[in-house]
Amino acid sequence: MLQPVEDAASEAASDDDEPAEIDYDDRPYADYFDADGFGLAAHRGADETREWGLDLEPKTVVLGLETGGDALGFPLPRVEAAGGVVYETVGDVDVVAFATDGGLHAFENPGYEFEQAGGSEEGDTERFGFRADGTVWDGVTGDAADGRELERLPARRLFAFTWRDDHGADAFYS
C-alpha cells in the first residue's frame, strides 16, 4: 500500500487557491456523501448553493457513455426502476445497460431482449442475472453461461451533477 507523502500540499486541499496540507483521511468523501451540497465547493465545506433543477438528486450515480459524438448518462435509479436493464442507441451503437449489485455496466447489444433471470438452470444466481437468447448473462462481466460474451463499452461512473455539467440536462436516459 502506498503511504502518504509527509507535508504534502495541494490546491485541492485548500479553501482557496493556495496549496494546503493534505488530510489523508481513510474515508475522505464520507462527509461529502452525507452533505446536502454538491461540487468542489461543497466538498471543501463551503455553504455555496448551486442551482440543480433536475428530477434526480445531484449525487445520483450515473454511468456515462460517449460514442460517435453523442453522450448519454444512465442514472442508477432509472435503470433499477426499469427492472435492472435498459436499451438505448448512443451514436450508432445499440446499448444495453444493467444495474447489478456490482454497479452499472454497459455493453453493445447484439439485438437481444434481456430480462432478470431471478435464478438460473445453472444454479449460479449470484453470477448470472439476465436471461436472453436462450442463456443467462452476467450483468457485470457480460459473460453468458454458454460461453458467449457481450462487448463492454467504455464508460465512466460519476455523479449526475458532473455529467450534467459536462453534457447538459438532456443527456440522461429517461
Q: Are 114 and 105 in contact (CB under 8 A)?
A: no
Distances (CA, A) of 153 to 104, 131, 159: 12, 20, 19
When pLDDT is averaged across residues 96-108 and rounded to a whole number, the result is: 94
Distances (CA, A) of 123 to 113, 114, 145: 22, 18, 11
Nearest to 105 by CA among 71, 31, 156, 170: 156
When pLDDT is averaged across residues 63-70 and rounded to a whole number, the result is: 93
Q: How many CB atoms lie within 10 A of CB 161?
A: 20
- The predicted pLDDT at position 140 comes to 94
- The predicted pLDDT at position 46 comes to 56
Indicate the burial class of 8 (C-beta count within 10 angstroms; 0-12, 13-18, 19 or more). Answer: exposed
Q: How many CB atoms lie within 10 A of CB 145?
A: 18
When pLDDT is averaged across residues 26-33 and rounded to a whole number, the result is: 60
- The predicted pLDDT at position 86 comes to 96
Place of cell 456523501: 33
Q: Which three cell numbers stand for residue 46?
A: 463551503
Alpha helices in the chain (DSSP H): 30-34, 40-43, 76-81, 160-167
- The predicted pLDDT at position 1 comes to 45
108-163 pLDDT tens trace: 999 999 998 875 444 444 445 899 999 999 999 999 999 999 999 999 999 898 99
Q: Which residue has the higher pLDDT, 68 or 17?
A: 68
Q: Which three cell numbers stand for residue 146?
A: 454458454
pTM of the model: 0.73
